[in-house]
Structure 1
């Protein structure tokens, strides 16, 4: 039986809803549990790529498109894994980076481009034996790059901010997923809506979260992700939160999210490493006690003999 990794896409047509952040932090938690993770950055903004060493904003600006995900879309380039796949500074995480040159391949009508629609799927199949989890970040629109990601995927996760404008695009995401299912990937499933960037003290967030849970019922994940400063600090340090500060509330939210991803994908994927690693307990070192009494007796006995 061939090894088949879990392929999960983070997608919404609206920007600023935590798509990239979700991929970045869940990747860290999947890897922390011992899973081999591949990140495919399909957003020309390349925010995910810039969040990981050895890359940064300058490195991405200078990156040759032939050494990026662009090679999967341009027939003139060599898309072999050794050309576009990079190890990051985080154990168990590899990356195929994006760059601005990817923009011109984000065609508005993907169905007009034949086998190009399968470009990501072919690559994922080629490297599937080397990874347990594949996470794909997408641009804030429903065009070619998102389409190709969904063609390659098992599941789509849609982060959404619990506010009016953010929630309005959900129906378009649903239709887009259904189009992929009907024409290119019948195995694709919508994992659901992840309520993200939550501010519990904002009454409007509490109201809209409940509205979405009532409207979409089981499609809304039980876990949600708060809007907290430490997520920005993690990006600055190029380290996902559960590897950076595993005990803070934000880490607990990501841990709960990854647990729920495992649960919702359990029908199709087994064998993934789901156990949360336990911290190593440090044993306080004890200095051996000086045997002063024995020393004194020996000294006293020696002195008496000398006397």
Structure 2
């Protein structure tokens, strides 16, 4: 190993070196294929969702505003990770500046926290729509939606801000090699040669306060939704009403289950290879942005109908039928 990687260098190194997936270097190009495909699907799907909601006045409702927020968050999250990851896999471009690394760390964790808050907002929308349908438009007004959106964004920005702030103040004198495809918080601070308990404990605080609190509020919302649904007189009415929550529930499971599994694996899977941890970390941040537009496009009737109309109109414009 070179002296630059082992000797004491400045408190803040000028660059870090992302190793990609250690142990699987020979198949980096092959691994890049599914990751690149997921990224392209996420880009295409989320942009289409944004275009459809923008073009259709009938979709200018709180549920679809929150869906647009989720689509933007998915685009930012995947774009924060995949381009640099692919440059590692394809061009062996592994260096990343210290400031860029901290910026990437901030955006990744901030956007993930925002997505969790957006799911809470969506659960609130479904609760009001099912439990108080006559008051839905008066409760979730445009100004209320804007306030909820600002609260979600500000909460995430403020709570995640200490991550890069603390990381920038640790002395890094062990190595500049990060065994990961992106600047994940603990992967970076573990390189510091100081007591990082503050960063570690604060990271746990963020996880429990954000994810734990959000899951709790989502659960409370759905308990109330289920109580309202079971009061309906017929089975068809119950299925139809609860069906409006189907896409939201699928998106919630897609987001939280990989995250919880990854956290448990870090805590109890010490005998699992490092490459598997890194693969799961990438799946955790790439699969939800890819699946969310698919879930809402397939399970939400209004989105599905507009999607079919969008492609029909696009195809007609590209391939016009000539009149004889």
TM-score under structure 1 length normalisation: 0.26
* Larger Rg belongs to: 1
Q: Which has the higher helix share?
A: 2
